[in-house]
Structure formats: C-alpha cells, structure tokens
Amino acid sequence: MKLIFFPFLALLLITACNNEEQKDEAKKDNKISLRSDTINVVTLSDTLVIHESTCRGCAYENSTSFDIGDSLNLIKLQSIVTTDNNSPDMAGGNISKKLILVPVKAGTTTIKLYKFWKEPATAADSAKFIPYSIEVRN
C-alpha cells in the first residue's frame, strides 16, 4: 500500500506546484482575436489581432497588403506579422498574415479591413472590405 501511496503523493505534489511568473505573463498578454460577425468588446490595454492569409508562390504573394479604415480613429494598425510555416521545398500553400491593431481611445466604431492584391492599390481593390464592429472600453 505504501508503495503505491507515496509515488502517487509525490506526483500530486509536483503537478500541484504552480509558477506565478507564468500566470503574470499570461495576464499581460491581452490579445483579442477579432470576429466580423459580432460586436467585439475590448479594453484600451488589449491588443487586437486579425488573422488573414495569402497564397504562397503565387503572383500575389509579395504584393498582398492590408489597410484599415476607421472614420473615428479609435483603432490603429500597428504592424503586420508574416509567418510561413511551410517546408522550404514545398510548392504552394498559404502564408499567414497576423494584423496587429491597438485601440487608441474609448468608443464604438466599425473598422473596414481592406486587402489589396497588387501594388499600387487601386479603387477597384478598395471596393472590397470586411467590416469589424468594435467597442473600446476603458
């Protein structure tokens, strides 16, 4: 009985220990993935993320760009992070584009995400957009 109880107790104690530093780090990372089909409620301290992609190895790979339109200037496009998780010897696939946005001030707005396929961006390209409704709270 002791042979089973003590290893079980030791395993329980090891798994019950928690790391406070990891909890604090997780609290600081306030990334909110935006959805276009609902009102996104965020705070001023949150970082907003929109996940997009473009084709890998196609004519549009290097010319795909993004911009947002916000008439109230509540949201600012901070950066675009490009990630290629495909093997270098693989033909085709997708390249991940993570758009990082930050709220500037409180309020309610609808931003328009524009995806441009070629440079320079033309009026025909800007006719297509995805709306995101966002409520920024203090």
Q: Which of 52, 35, 57, 48 is nearest to 116 (CA)?
A: 52
CATH match of 22-137 with 2.60.40.2020: yes
pLDDT digits (tens, 9 = 90+) for 26-48: 556 689 999 999 999 999 999 99
Q: Does the pLDDT of residue 13 top 80, yes or no?
A: no
Q: Does the pLDDT of residue 130 top 80, yes or no?
A: yes
**What is the 3-state secondary structure of 4-39?**
HHHHHHHHHHHHHCCCHHHHHHHHHCCEEECCCCCE
- If you ran DSSP here, which 8-state letter would residue 120 be given? S
Ranges of H-type helices in 19-104: 20-28
Check residue 108 and give its pLDDT: 97
The model's pTM: 0.76
Residue 36's φ and ψ, nearest 5 degrees, are -85, -10
- On whether the CB atoms of residues 16 and 110 are closer than 8 A, the answer is no
pLDDT digits (tens, 9 = 90+) for 73-119: 999 999 999 999 888 888 888 999 999 999 999 999 999 999 998 87
Check residue 53 and give its pLDDT: 93
